[in-house]
Structure 1
Amino acid sequence: MAPLNVLMVGTGEYTTGFVGGGMSGSDKKVGVVGLTLFDLRRRGKVGKLSMVGTSGNKFPAIRDHLHKNITQAYNGLDTSFDSFPADDKRDADAYKTAIDALSPGDAITIFTPDTTHYPIALYAIERKIHVLVTKPAVQLLEHHQKLQDAARKNGVFVFVEHHKRFDPAYADARFRAQKLGDFNYFYSYMSQPKSQLETFKAWAGKDSDISYYLNSHHIDINESMVPDFKPVRVTASGSKGIATDLGCVDKTEDTITLLVDWVKKTDPSKRATGVYTASWTAPQKAGVHSNQYFHYMAAKGEVRVNQAKRGYDVTEDEAGLVWFNPFYMKYAPDDEGNFNGQTGYGYISFEKFVDAVTALKEGRVTLDDLDKRGLPTLKNTIATGAILEAGRRSLDEQRPIDIVEENDVWSLK
């Protein structure tokens, strides 16, 4: 079977590393999506690549950026792609033209503002296109379930890009947690520096919040660790004052904490507590781009993982002390000069999707098989979707929000 053709929807930091007319100042200076797919094409796993944004006039600079920082850095790695809209056009609906240029069985990746995920994913699914979408898959529980139904109806695979599932420490912790008895308590913290508010100023606080953006990582990890528990109530708290001083809209929260009640599906008398905190107003020179750690406690033991400082730091006169994370994306080339980041969990996440779609098209697996593998499918991430929307509603309505699940149908009250 021919390699999988992939359209990249979204041309920003995560796809290309190109932000505001130049290289991103984050740890994703050459992006993740594009680089990974260019390398998967080199390895014969994907075929034709394309990219769509809303402003075609960015593409000449993006191509120059990719050629300079990827092609010239990795042994002439091919960074060619078809682009939509044309270089002299601006079109907010260009994703439709780009998806229409695909064939049933092709795939797309979606790395765009949260409010756009649902219409883009649904448009692709209805045309029998497989979908990888960044987290959160969507902002509304209703939309999550509509995508789930549409994907089943059209026989396509939808993968939510929860890459922390493939972090080796997190994956090992999830495995070990199965032997520790009933879930009792989970606490997580994840932050990024204030500079990210400049990157995300077009939507920060208006169209989405820091909980959707960062809490989604650890809520999914918690959900994947405790398949026999389900969330039933969410109470959210948000702090304000820093982001607004940096020019964000008045309603922008700096830090959001969700307090979540969980119950055991077979015995509701057994309850657990989850506390998830996310912030995008951390200090600028903390030495790490993403502070990230969690504490999981169960009936017979506990797990602590701190992935902020991984025993590897570099100090430079200009930047000071920095802790790098090559376990996520490893940008150093191999001894032949080729890209050598295939073991990074950021890369593995995409390869898992490509391999799953290929196996599905070849008839080696079914959609049910993929759900059972514990991959971050729509079915396996629905509790995360419910918690995130409940958190937003709790902040807006200033009250706890109940999560109700009956016969696999989820709702909020």
Structure 2
Amino acid sequence: MSNLTKLNVLMCGTGEYTTGWTGSGASTSDKKIGVVGLTMFDLRRLGKVGNLGMVGVNGSKFPAIREHLQDKIGNAYKDMDTSFEEFPKQGKVDPEAYKEAINKLSPGDAVIVFTPDSTHFPICMYAIERGLHVLVTKPATQLLSHHNELIAAAKKQGVVCFVEHHKRFDPVYSDAKARAATLGEFNFFNAWMSQPKSQLETFRAWAGKDSDISYYLSSHHIDICCWILQDKAVPTRVVASAATGIATSEPYNCVPQTEDTITLLVDWQSLKSPKHKGTAVYTASWTAPLKSGVHSAQHWYYMGEKGDINVDQAHRGYDITVDDTGKTWYNPFYMKYSPSETGHFDGQRGYGYTSIETFIDASREVNAGTAKSSDYDGHGYPTIANTVLTTAILNAGRISLDEKRPVGIKKSGDEWILE
């Protein structure tokens, strides 16, 4: 791997997940110094990444972002360079600055997209059509038709396109998937994921306008369920229901169509046994209590014909109590922010880091000719092709809410479509 050429990377999006910086200042969540930027800076230190760029909409944010990154990352870890080229320049405001930034890249470079859901498709397509490898946060797209277009474009260009479903790299989830394979036919899956109401303040600019809580949170566990059931069962019908009233009230005042909690009920059909059908319930909320001790409450239950699996990702037997803030449950398996004994960043084993590094490694291997982009579809990775049913379920759920009806999912030729 060390003999592979360094990968030049453009980070699209300057928000919480990339930098730890939000529109109201430094994030107060469990991602206070971000994930993407920190990982890129460390991979550059380790020789896997070359030039770095970052693109947003408002160039006036960059001085504060640079100061934040230097303070929280550059000064916190040994040998960590937080420099990057910014777009748009000179404090300009440009919603299409990503085009200028992408145009400066060369085929074989990479783009990492962590922007509002509604912008994923145009940015990813613009990058893929120019021969760039792409890692996009979930949901890959809001429309199944757009997801299908990205599959075709990535295949045509021969580039790597991953969706950043980092939970596939969680050792507990990975082990659970393997054990589920021994439990016979699928019967029932139930997932819950929530974040505190304070997130509505962070996301007010787009909550209910550009996306919803199901796309934002349920995408995690819908993908895990699809991953477990890949080549074993397929979703056939989605019915959605929603709770409302909190997000649209004081002090959050989100737009009138904002849901608080969304539940998707999904029918699954076994591919091996016509008589075996399963059901899944995926629920997500961003109106959970403020001081529950975890930023994201998240657990799921899987039942097969020969046994079941119960996973609570938020409570792993590791909690800390502080006088001022009370008890908090931590998950260092995701991102470890405390430095090593030598003072360097020490989170390379976290699955948040591993998810991004896996994409970087795959892109470098394809550039070197030691692998083809299609190879990764068979490795269980969250490629754009392997994640299509996650988008199908999410898109069907949105239609079900808007049109108040069940929505069917079926395959037409080589493509999945909604009915």
TM-score, normalised to structure 2, is: 0.97
CA distance in 1: counterparts of 2:238 and 2:274, whole angstroms = 16
User: Residue type of the partner of 2:240?
Assistant: A
CA distance in 2: counterparts of 1:288 and 1:80, whole angstroms = 32
Of residues 308, 330, 333 in structure 2, which corresponds to 1:327? 333
Q: Give yes or no for the alignment of 1:239 onto 2:243.
A: yes
Q: Give yes or no for the alignment of 1:137 onto 2:179.
A: no
Of residues 263, 284, 294 in structure 2, which corresponds to 1:288? 294
- The answer to whether the 8 Å contact 1:106/1:129 transfers is yes
Q: Give yes or no for the alignment of 1:248 onto 2:251.
A: no
Aligned length: 413
1:198-277 matched pairs, under 5 angstroms? 198-227=201-230, 228-245=232-249, 246-277=252-283
- The answer to whether the 8 Å contact 2:142/2:391 transfers is yes
Q: Which moved more, 1:285-294 or 1:359-368?
A: 359-368
Of residues 362, 368, 372 in structure 2, which corresponds to 1:366? 372
2:129 match? 126
Of residues 95, 99, 105 in structure 2, which corresponds to 1:96? 99
User: Residue type of the partner of 1:237?
Assistant: S
CA distance in 1: counterparts of 2:56 and 2:415, whole angstroms = 34
CA distance in 2: counterparts of 1:268 and 1:361, whole angstroms = 43
**Structure 2 unaligned spans of 5+:** none
Q: Give yes or no for the alignment of 1:350 onto 2:374.
A: no
2:48 match? 45
Q: Give yes or no for the alignment of 1:153 onto 2:159.
A: no
1:189 match? 192
- The answer to whether the 8 Å contact 2:61/2:91 transfers is no
1:6-155 matched pairs, under 5 angstroms? 6-155=9-158
- The answer to whether the 8 Å contact 1:255/1:278 transfers is yes
Identity %: 61
2:400 match? 394
Structure 1 residue 75, shift from structure 2 partner = 1.3
What CA deviation, in whole Å up to 9, does each residue of 1:299-332 have, x standing for no partner? 1111110011111111122221111111110001
- The answer to whether the 8 Å contact 1:58/1:87 transfers is no
- The answer to whether the 8 Å contact 2:5/2:364 transfers is no
- The answer to whether the 8 Å contact 2:264/2:281 transfers is yes
- The answer to whether the 8 Å contact 2:399/2:407 transfers is yes
CA distance in 1: counterparts of 2:274 and 2:355, whole angstroms = 34
Structure 1 residue 76, shift from structure 2 partner = 3.9
CA distance in 1: counterparts of 2:414 and 2:284, whole angstroms = 29
What CA deviation, in whole Å up to 9, does each residue of 1:275-316 have, x standing for no partner? 000000000000000000000000111111001111111112
Structure 1 residue 407, shift from structure 2 partner = 2.7
- The answer to whether the 8 Å contact 2:155/2:374 transfers is no
User: Residue type of the partner of 1:373?
Assistant: H
- The answer to whether the 8 Å contact 1:7/1:50 transfers is yes
- The answer to whether the 8 Å contact 2:158/2:372 transfers is no
User: Residue type of the partner of 1:214?
Assistant: L
Structure 1 residue 410, shift from structure 2 partner = 1.1
Secondary structure of the residue aligned to 1:380 is coil
- The answer to whether the 8 Å contact 1:5/1:49 transfers is yes
User: Residue type of the partner of 2:128?
Assistant: I
Structure 1 residue 367, shift from structure 2 partner = 2.3
- The answer to whether the 8 Å contact 1:187/1:274 transfers is yes
- The answer to whether the 8 Å contact 1:59/1:87 transfers is no
Structure 1 residue 265, shift from structure 2 partner = 2.1
- The answer to whether the 8 Å contact 1:52/1:85 transfers is yes
CA distance in 2: counterparts of 1:345 and 1:198, whole angstroms = 27
Secondary structure of the residue aligned to 2:311 is strand
Structure 1 residue 21, shift from structure 2 partner = 4.3
Structure 1 residue 133, shift from structure 2 partner = 0.1
User: Residue type of the partner of 1:274?
Assistant: A
Q: CA RMSD in A?
A: 0.9
- The answer to whether the 8 Å contact 1:243/1:281 transfers is yes
**Structure 1 unaligned spans of 5+:** none
What CA deviation, in whole Å up to 9, does each residue of 1:328-358 have, x standing for no partner? 1000100000000001110000011011111
